[in-house]
Amino acid sequence: MKKIVIGITGASGTIYALALLKALADNPEVETHLVMSKWAKENLALEATGYTLADVRALADYTYDERDMGARIASGSFRHDGMVVVPASMKSIASIATGMGDTLVGRAADVTLKERRPLIVVPRESPFNQIHLRNMLTLAEMGVEIIPPIPAFYNRPKTIADIVNHTTEKLLDHLGIDNELSPRWDGMASAKVAARND
């Protein structure tokens, strides 16, 4: 069974975290470990997701308080198959890039890096300033995968869920988890046929 750590931070885009958690909850071969920052909890209500904090926690197998530095996911001896910070605020990215480890999200990410396990961050900010870009470059040079939630339109999305699922599919792909959440590129000929059929 794969063990995946999910960190949700205070950037806009809680919907991406919810989509990933739902996809993982539907997979019996995956066990999830969730930690949410204080501002992630605020955004859950602010962004009118329709989910309560209890609803989000119910999507995960294990949940942790962001102040619990004694949690399992704070230790390198807890073996897992990857961590995703989604959405990733610029504060959280800076914390991870500098090794501050001042919250459980940052500490779990730091442990993921030191143990050479996959770490994915989903940055939600626009535009990026030089500090943001330097911090992300620092992470990329350490092998962190930076996957911003940028929509594709070749798959002809019709709903917000279609757009979100494109990013979720990418996250699952990079975690090595099979999925078919979004239509995949099948060549120019197929795209032209789809366009004619719309």
pTM of the entire structure?
0.92
50: which 2 tokens?
């329709």
When the pLDDT of each residue in the chain is averaged and rounded to a whole number, the result is 93
Q: Which pLDDT band, with edges at 50, 70 and 90, does 186 fall under?
A: confident
Domain with 68, as residue range(s), is: 2-197
Supply the CATH number for residue 141's domain.
3.40.50.1950
94 is in an annotated binding site: no
Q: How far is CA 26 from the centre of its chain?
A: 16
Q: Which pLDDT band, with edges at 50, 70 and 90, does 84 fall under?
A: very high
103: which 2 tokens?
């919250």
Q: Which pLDDT band, with edges at 50, 70 and 90, does 21 fall under?
A: very high
11 is in an annotated binding site: yes
User: Count of domains in the chain?
Assistant: 1
Helix locations, 77-159, DSSP H? 90-98, 104-114, 130-141
92 is in an annotated binding site: yes
Q: Which pLDDT band, with edges at 50, 70 and 90, does 49 fall under?
A: confident
